[in-house]
């Protein structure tokens, strides 16, 4: 981790106190926040502070050139230069080794492998996150959604330590306007902030690390050494672990920023209760999903140019979203896997929503032969001698039908039928298991490992004895908690906020002691630090 846990708490206590002392003086506060953010980032490797500074300067220049260009062509050129600058930085530090190793593997059989290009490059923590933030700033300036900000504001935005290394991906228009006003310390929602931090710590230290050490790391390190039951539980355990780990960090980041007077957008909304894959991506890593939608999927054309174009754009977006997660082919295929799932879901939805009258010529001809082509749909109508429809005679006590006005008849004829509702619990079950299979790809180091895991999952019947009742109970309780209504948490926060401050402080202290007792020895880095 960038900071050991206790060191971070001491660091934050100092930052919190000084920050609120400087809040009435915006320029001094920004300089202080810039300094402590670079200290935080440089704790791991101070040399990468130059990378962060270079990215900041480059994007400040790019945004100013976009805004200053006199013509649309000049603005577009400045935008392209800014995007290329960011992608080159990200590509070199994160993907250079990946693409060179892939090239060497492809050319090695014919003796043309360029092995001299193989250079080991350290991956800067959080480069994907601050690069996406920078891209959103430059693109929003180009689109006219946001004006050029002061250099010091942009520097604070890109380096602000709560979201610097693992998100959420906060956009410039969500962050920078908050620097223009001085928050009232009396209006600080400290109870919510502490609740978020406590919840995040519990998710990470107790749930995520327990599952990682007890089942996930062993089964994924050597799937051939375990039987189906262990692998089955291990896959579900990883689904819980990655959620607890990443949403736990997000909770801590949002709570930490809130204590400093800055509000971040939510990043998770109980993703495992999603009834569709599309709904899952509305709930999982929401800031990334919205970023990919607004800056990749929609610019590619979205769903504006027909179904094939829509499916193509979905696949490109999800494949690149997978690659964003890491320089490994398993991440790319994981993205393709979700892209294929979204395409299948969109296709099935279009089939369900298609009006019954839209049929092929062969079907229409068959209906004609069977005498089913009537103005009353598929029900043949026989007219009685007195002009009354035969099916009306089946209900002799029925009241005369209400006359339909011409405009009402036209509306009824053209309005699509209501969509057929599917069972939400069946949808949740299918979606969750679809996601879990994808997590096996995501977690595996190679296709061979993923294949071994999936193969033994369905062939190596039995158990190696690694699964305990505590592991199963932790998984079950974590998944069940997803179904708790949001109002439960809000009610607890409201009640806690009305307790005396001394009681709240003692309660948080007791919680930290319990956390130390329940948590396993040693806390692994957050999973998304590597992205």
Kindly name the residue from 325, 346, 376, 498 that is annotated as catalytic.
325
CA–CA distances in Å: residue 264 to residues 41, 177, 244, 495, 497: 19, 12, 19, 23, 21
The total of other beta-carbon atoms located within 10 Å of residue 253's CB is 25
Backbone angles phi, psi at 364, to 5 degrees: -65, -40
Whether 325 is a known active-site residue: answer yes
Reference 528, options 297, 330, 288; nearest CA is 288
Q: How far apart are CA 424 and CA 19, in angstroms?
A: 47
Is the CA virtual torsion 351, 352, 353, 354 positive or negative?
positive
Degrees, nearest 5: CA angle 103-107-113: 80
Q: How far apart are CA 440 and CA 437, in angstroms?
A: 5
Backbone angles phi, psi at 62, to 5 degrees: -60, -45
Please, where are the H alpha helices in 43-146? 48-68, 72-90, 96-107, 127-143
Q: How many helices (H) does the chain have, and how many strands (E)?
A: 25, 0
Q: How far apart are CA 243 and CA 208, in angstroms?
A: 8
Reference 123, options 320, 278, 325; nearest CA is 325
CA–CA distances in Å: residue 60 to residues 134, 158, 171, 326, 359: 9, 11, 15, 27, 56
Is the CA virtual torsion 20, 22, 27, 31 positive or negative?
negative
125, 529 contact by CB (below 8 A): yes
DSSP state of 226: S
CA–CA distances in Å: residue 246 to residues 81, 122, 515, 528, 530: 33, 22, 18, 7, 12
Reference 487, options 495, 476, 499; nearest CA is 495
Is the CA virtual torsion 372, 374, 376, 381 positive or negative?
negative
Q: Which residues are catalytic?
A: 325
């Amino acid at each position: 981790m960038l900071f050991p846990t206790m060191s971070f708490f001491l660091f934050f206590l100092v930052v919190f106190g000084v920050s609120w002392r400087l809040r009435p003086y915006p320029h001094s506060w920004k300089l202080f926040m810039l300094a402590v953010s670079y200290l935080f980032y440089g704790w791991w490797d101070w040399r990468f502070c130059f990378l962060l500074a270079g990215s900041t300067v480059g994007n400040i220049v790019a945004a100013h050139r976009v805004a200053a260009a006199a013509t649309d062509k000049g603005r577009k050129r400045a935008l392209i230069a800014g995007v290329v600058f960011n992608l080159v930085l990200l590509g070199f530090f994160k993907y250079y080794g990946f693409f060179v190793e892939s090239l060497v593997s492809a050319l090695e059989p014919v003796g043309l492998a360029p092995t001299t290009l193989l250079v080991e490059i350290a991956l800067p923590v959080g480069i994907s996150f601050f690069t996406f933030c920078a891209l959103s700033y430059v693109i929003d300036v180009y689109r006219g959604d946001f004006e050029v900000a002061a250099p010091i504001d942009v520097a604070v935005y890109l380096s602000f330590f709560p979201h610097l290394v693992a998100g959420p991906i906060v956009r410039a228009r969500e962050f920078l306007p908050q620097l223009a006003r001085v928050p009232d310390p009396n209006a600080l929602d400290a109870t919510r902030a502490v609740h978020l931090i406590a919840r995040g710590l519990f998710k990470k230290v107790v749930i995520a690390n327990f599952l990682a050490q007890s089942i996930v790391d062993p089964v994924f390190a050597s799937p051939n050494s375990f039987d189906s039951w262990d692998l089955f539980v291990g896959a579900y355990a990883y689904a819980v672990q990655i959620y607890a780990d990443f949403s736990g960090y997000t909770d801590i980041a949002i709570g930490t920023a809130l204590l400093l007077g800055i509000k971040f957008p939510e990043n998770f909304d109980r993703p495992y209760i999603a009834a569709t894959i599309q709904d899952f991506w509305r709930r999982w890593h929401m800031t990334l999903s919205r970023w990919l939608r607004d800056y990749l999927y929609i610019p590619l054309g979205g769903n504006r140019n027909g179904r094939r174009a829509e499916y193509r754009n979905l696949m490109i977006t999800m494949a690149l979203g997978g690659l964003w997660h890491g320089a490994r082919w398993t991440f790319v295929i994981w993205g393709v896997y979700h892209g294929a799932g979204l395409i299948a879901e969109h296709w099935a939805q279009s089939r369900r929503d298609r009006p019954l009258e839209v049929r092929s010529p062969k079907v229409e001809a068959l209906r004609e032969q069977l005498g089913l082509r009537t103005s009353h749909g598929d029900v043949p109508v026989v007219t009685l001698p007195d002009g009354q429809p035969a099916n009306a005679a089946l209900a002799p006590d029925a009241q005369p039908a209400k006359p339909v006005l011409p405009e009402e008849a036209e509306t009824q004829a053209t309005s699509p039928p209501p969509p057929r509702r599917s069972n939400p619990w069946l949808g949740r079950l299918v979606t969750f298991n679809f996601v879990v299979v994808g997590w096996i790809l995501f977690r595996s180091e190679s296709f061979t490992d993923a294949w071994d895991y999936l193969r033994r999952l369905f062939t190596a019947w039995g158990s190696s004895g690694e699964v305990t009742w505590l592991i199963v109970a932790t998984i079950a309780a974590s998944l069940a908690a997803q179904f708790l209504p949001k109002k439960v948490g809000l009610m607890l926060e409201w009640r806690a906020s009305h307790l005396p401050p001394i009681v709240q402080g003692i309660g948080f202290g007791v919680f930290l002691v319990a956390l130390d007792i329940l948590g396993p020895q040693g806390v692994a880095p957050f999973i998304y630090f590597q992205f």
